Amino acid sequence: MALLSVLTPVLVLVLCLVVGILFLKSRAPETSPRGADQAKEPAKKDFRPWVDQDLHDDTEITTEGGDEDEWVEQDEEKDLAHVPYSPRRYPEEIMLQRSKEFYSLMNQRRSVRFISPEPVPQEIIDNIILTAGTAPSGAHTEPWTFIVVSDLETKHQIRLIVEEEEEVNYRQRMGDKWVHDLARLRTNWIKEYLDVAPYLILVFKRAYGILPNGKKKTHYYNEISVSISCGILLAALQNVGLVTVTTTPLNCGPRLRLLLKRPANEKLLMLLPVGYPAADATVPDLKRKHLEEIMVPI
Ligand SMILES: Cc1cc2nc3c(=O)[nH]c(=O)nc-3n(C[C@H](O)[C@H](O)[C@H](O)COP(=O)(O)O)c2cc1C
């Protein structure tokens, strides 16, 4: 008993030391000298945020080499002539009328998950893709590929992949909150429209370009550029009375890229089933925000 009372202060001291060491270790990265931190970081010169971040998205299957010599320098490219530009100018009252009409057209756009199998002429789809290709892009790199699938078997293969992954997404990957947020839209992993819609448009972003000489070309802001082109594509569909639902099937990118035999620099961004709405199509009764909620005049 006497021995224990003598040892107690020693034990407390040892315990304090252990806790102190553990605490200091847990804070070590914040308190280590700046030079040590820098040694762990990639050299600033080699860091291309608009490329590297895209390459490390979850659609990546193969690892790409990071050799600087593989990339083309901007000044290797040709200079461009500049030409006059004078688009049509409208009187203000016509501008007002056109702005209202276009808003009214676009305000009728809805994501439609019930699509008719009725055929749509290919030439209309061609024009819609051409329209999407008018989008602005970082340094005019046009980093998009639109795969237009009408082949029945390929559509079915796409459906099998998407449904298999989506079931895992809904049951495991998305989490309760996400699944709960989607419940009111009545979406789930069954995607009948992938078989039924006359066209599936799979939009790939080209994370970087590959030139004829095999060198890689930086595609600045490629995801933003392709997203803008998708917005224009949606407007072009709406303009001719066709419908789609914007989908970004989580974790399906690599398998769909391989199915469609696309190169490793292409990453799936969106999957758009396209056609006429089914005769009995319904949509959730959503409301859109008012102007005051989305615009801040200063
Ligand atoms: C980036 C993005 C991803 C989306 N992904 C899905 C999806 O995977 N499945 C789906 O049914 N709808 C998807 N939607 C559609 C939205 O649910 C829909 O746009 C939203 O509910 C508003 O409805 P509205 O398009 O009819 O205005 C997506 C929309 C966007 C913009």
Which CATH number goes with the domain that contains 220? 3.40.109.10
- On the question of pLDDT at 199 being above 80, the answer is yes
Q: Is residue 22 in a domain? A: no
Q: Let me know if residue 258 belongs to a domain.
A: yes
The answer to whether residue 38 sits within a structural domain is: no
Pick the atom of ligand 1 nearest to 249's CA: 8
How would residue 76 be classed by pLDDT, with cut points 50, 70 and 90?
Answer: low
Binding pocket residue ranges, ligand 1, CB within 6 Å = 110-111, 113, 185, 187, 245-248, 283, 286
Q: What is the pLDDT of residue 205?
A: 98
In a domain, 182, yes or no: yes
Q: Which domain does 243 fall in, by range?
A: 114-278
Most confident of 33-42, 71-80, 274-283: 274-283
Does residue 173 form part of some domain? yes
Name the residue of 245, 286, 287 whose CB sits within 8 Å of the most ligand 1 atoms, as the mutation to test its pocket.
245
Residue 13 exposed, middle or buried by CB count within 10 Å (0-12, 13-18, 19+): exposed
Amino acid at 142: E
Tell which one of 246, 269, 282, 288 to mutate to probe ligand 1, the residue whose CB is within 8 A of the most ligand atoms: 246
Structural domain count, the chain: 1
Closest-CA residue, ligand 1 atom 18, reads 111
Residue 195 CB contacts under 8 Å (≥ 6 apart), including other chains: 152, 155, 156, 159
For residue 214, the CA-to-ligand 1 centroid distance in Å is 37
